[in-house]
Structure 1
Amino acid sequence: MQWLKRHARLLAVLSFTATILLVVHITGIREHFGLDVIRAQFESHLISGTATFVLLFALGNLIQIPGWIFLAAAVLSLGQVWGAAVTYVAAVLSCTLVFVLIRCLGGSALRKIDNRLARSLLTRLDKQPIRSQFLLRTLFQTAPALNYALALSGVGLGHYVLGLLAGLPLPIVLYSVFFDYLAMALDLI
């Protein structure tokens, strides 16, 4: 019973995520996360397509869909520069929304885990929150699991957003160049 009480917020996050995944599966919304569907959103109308893109990115983040899918669709639809720019804004908004939602549900639940490795990682995050997140974002970009972990880590929203803003540009630019090159090589654009 003590274990359940100590980990109740973490269980709330897991239940929430499982519920979202179930709803997405049952309703068929997951089909809207393909490259062709996202690309069509942009091509139908730029402003509403961009708004839909941001919403899909946020929902995708909640249900563990990697951000590179959204970046590839944006680059294929809008080109390398605009695709990267729109993805950067969408990623920041999406990751921040997920952070706030998961933090509200789970608080800093990872702080309650009694594990030496977890304590060591959280201590490093506490000492250099922006630098740590910069490195994590450079390596893992918008990885949904990273967003959840940071939300549950107890890091402050301000540090989270600064780490996000600083850590995303380099990988987004590199992936944009890669996807643009790949699209030209495969004659997709």
Structure 2
Amino acid sequence: MALPIAMTRYRRLILLALLLLTVLLTVELTGLREQFSLPALRALLEANLAVGLLLFVLAFVIGNLIQLPGWPFLAAAILALGTVVGGLVTYMAACVSCLVTFQVVKGLGGSALRDIDKPLAKKILSRLDRHPVRSVVLLRLLFQTMPALNYTLALSGVKRRDYLLGTLLGLPLPLLVYCFFFDRIARVLQLV
């Protein structure tokens, strides 16, 4: 006996919520949460660059999954590696993080937003369908790596290729602005 489509959708969303709750609880109960602080991320990158970079990307992915903003990662990378290298490392880590989050959320939640039967939702999704890459670029310019944006786009049914291309094109400008901002703050506070 096949399940009704709505039941399947709700099961997928419940499974997604359970997975994310499990990740969040694991991070909290194991003490990993402290590793997402600016000093801990900076120390991670300064201790051993090769291993530090891999762990930095992993931390960014987990942080994005549990709804942490991206700015502490960028600030830590700039403080540890300098503005240019820190910015490039953050760009790479942000793109990987956004793509992993997209895959996990889409894999578990499917395109649940497509099932919303409201005129405003249908209008927004039709605009996304007409210009998916441009829409993702504009959303990245405004919201950068915001975890809620990653979840929403994953559940919207946007194609992975369009999501990735929009992310790759939309992140550099806001990250560049943040790089100069954090570099300036670090210089004023004499942290570098």
TM superposition score category, shorter chain reference: over 0.9
Superimposed CA distance per residue, residues 128-173 of structure 1 (whole angstroms, 9 cap, x where no aligned partner): 0011000100010000111111111110010010000000000000
Deviation (angstroms), 1:112 = 1.2
1:93 equivalent in alignment to 2:121: no
1:20 to 18, 23, 37: 23
2:159 aligned with 1:185 = no
Q: 1:13·1:105 contact (CA, 8 Å) conserved in 2? A: yes
1:30 paired residue number: 33
**Where does 1:97-176 land on structure 2 (aligned, <5 Å)?**
97-176=100-179
CA positional deviation for 1:17: 1.4
Contact preservation (8 Å) 1:134, 1:163 = yes
* Counterpart residue identity of residue 67, structure 1: G
1:44 aligns with 2:47: yes
Alpha-carbon distance in 2 for matches of 1:18, 1:12: 10
Structure 1 letter corresponding to 2:20: T
TM-score computed with the length of structure 1 as normaliser: 0.96
**SS, match of residue 183 in structure 1:** helix
What TM-score does the superposition give when structure 2 sets the normalisation length? Answer: 0.94
Say whether the 8 Å CA contact 2:9–2:109 is kept in structure 1: no
C-alpha deviation, 1:10, in angstroms: 2.0
Code of the aligned partner of 2:160: L
CA distance in 1, matches of 2:7, 2:16: 14
What stretches of structure 1 of length at least 5 have no aligned partner? none
Equivalent residue letter for 1:43: E
The alpha-carbon deviation at position 5 of structure 1 amounts to 4.5
| % identity of equivalent residues | 53
SS at match of 2:92: helix
Is the partner of 2:120 in helix, strand or coil?
helix
The residue identity in structure 2 corresponding to 1:165 is: L
Does the 8 Å CA contact 1:7/1:112 hold for their aligned counterparts? Answer: no
Aligned length: 189
RMSD: 1.4
Per-residue Cα deviation, 1:10-47 (whole angstroms, up to 9, x for no partner): 22222221221112111111110000011001111111
Q: CA deviation at 1:98?
A: 1.0
